[in-house]
Amino acid sequence: MRKISNYGMEVAIGAIFVVLVFLLYVGLPPAILVMGLLMFGAIFLFTRSRGGLAMGAAGKKAATRKPEFLTFEDIGGQEQPKRELTEALDFLVHREKIQKLGIRPLKGILLTGPPGTGKTLLAKAAAQYTHSAFIAASGSEFVEMYVGVGAGRIRDLFKEARQQALKLKRDSAIIFIDEIDGIGGKRDGGQHREYDQTLNQLLTEMDGVQGDESVRVLLIAATNRKELLDSALLRPGRFDRQIQVDLPDKSAREHILRLHARNKPLSPDASLGKVAEETFGFSGAQLESVMNEAAIYAMREQSETIGSEHLSQAIDKVMMGERMDRETTREERERVAIHELGHAIVAENVRPESVAQVSLTPRGQALGYVRHHPQQDSYLYTLEFLEQQIMIALGGAVAEEIFYGGRSTGSRGDFDQATNIVRTMIESGMSDLGIVHPEALTQEQWSEENGKILEELTGRTRALLGKHKETFEHLLAHLISEETLTGEQLRRQIKLQAA
């Protein structure tokens, strides 16, 4: 396979020929001519290898390497994207039927969604489903500083896909381009000729202006930034189907966990359903990491099975990072304990039975944390829910103010969370500003409304925690000595104080 486009080879050969004629014209000795020839030959070979570097990954190596045997049944969750994709792929499988109904074959399928949701896995399963030749590439492999190189690689990619299909005696090929926003970004009319030519060549190939139509090529692309793509790429006739691949819900999470637990020995007390409940917002990649980390924890303890405690530790690891061996002073541990108890007491008051554990174990950048019992998967939030979430976030800082008369830098992340929720409230028309376009607000209006909401909720949080000073005092020594406090112990103490 040629490593660079024919255009690039012709330019290089032509340049060498012109230089040799010039050297003969000026009458240089033969030795210099030979040296010049060797020099330009070396430059040509270097250019040839440079031009084919990314194509080697996107073309020949990817084409000759068969994709791993992967079916849609091996992909957990994502039932709706799998149905949409299967329907689109049937146009490749049942050619006679679509010809009878006069259906135009699809040229491209765009998979959009957050990272780690399984877009690449869906593309591999699509190749297996259609028995097509499969080539994978990344958008960044076609970006070069030299004009025309990226366009040449696009041509070679489609050419190699057709050749590979013929070699395998198949009538279709699937090209998968991950992170297509690297080459398919919006054209702004500037001087980025390399990007424009690469995108133009991709559009031409998708239109089928050039190439052997006996082999049907389907382009599947993935991106998590669809808004950055050029409108010419998204129009019908190019990416005919745009399939949203979202984060999995509870049942899908359990399905994914069971798939990744097939080769792992689970103990009888390990409940994947409970893990699915506790991992709201996790992607498929994060769930796979949970199962892998749980197996690592079991190996560290020389356990023959993976227990519930290993799964719990793995969730904390994926969510917050590895446990750190940080040496803290007694004063710091006491302040962290007060801070985390503030979060937990507020949470237990506004949402009873919600706290699972309070811990002083440092993980990632956090010196302590509160784990909550899983809530039901929710996608719509009321004003009351958002205000409660802000109060929980402010609970740590308010508790420090009550006991120490001031705050610490440990509240920075809590304040970021609180202000982000306030922004959601304002943009959703839940503030006193009413329904207003966010861009119509000045910075002063944003600051004023943000300050007013946070001040009111801070006051409510301070009043709530002021009623539970005895709860702090009874639980503080236990939390410092044991490093953990269960939700049941917290609730028991709150009930004793209430009585």
Q: Which residues are catalytic?
A: 340
Between CA 375 and CA 372 the distance in angstroms is 8
Asked if residues 386 and 421 have their Cβ atoms less than 8 Å apart, the reply is: yes
Structure letter (DSSP) for residue 139: G
Pairing outcome for strands 108-112 and 239-244? parallel
Between CA 290 and CA 317 the distance in angstroms is 8
Structure letter (DSSP) for residue 483: S
- Quick one: tokens of 170? 């198949």
**Residues in a beta bridge with 485:** 358
Q: 220: helix, coil or strand?
A: strand
Asked if residues 392 and 343 have their Cβ atoms less than 8 Å apart, the reply is: yes
> Rounded to the nearest 10 degrees, how much is the dihedral formed by the CA atoms of 356, 361, 364, 370?
20
Q: What size, in residues, is the chain?
A: 499
Between CA 126 and CA 135 the distance in angstroms is 12
Q: 170: helix, coil or strand?
A: coil
Q: How many CA atoms lie within 13 A of 185 on its CB side?
A: 15
Between CA 498 and CA 86 the distance in angstroms is 58
Say how many C-beta atoms besides its own lie within 10 A of residue 121's C-beta: 19
Say how many C-beta atoms besides its own lie within 10 A of residue 278's C-beta: 22
Between CA 257 and CA 260 the distance in angstroms is 5
Pairing outcome for strands 369-372 and 355-359? antiparallel
Give CA angle at 388 (421, 374), nearest 5°: 95
Q: Which helix (H) or strand (E) holds 486?
A: strand 484-486
Which residue is listed with tokens 């006051």? 459
Q: 444: helix, coil or strand?
A: helix
As to burial, measured by CB atoms within 10 angstroms (0-12 exposed, 13-18 middle, 19+ buried), residue 27 is: exposed
Which residue is listed with tokens 């090929």? 173
Q: 148: helix, coil or strand?
A: coil
Which residues, at least 6 apart from 484, have a Cβ–Cβ distance to it below 8 Å? 357, 358, 359, 360, 361
Say how many C-beta atoms besides its own lie within 10 A of residue 26's C-beta: 7
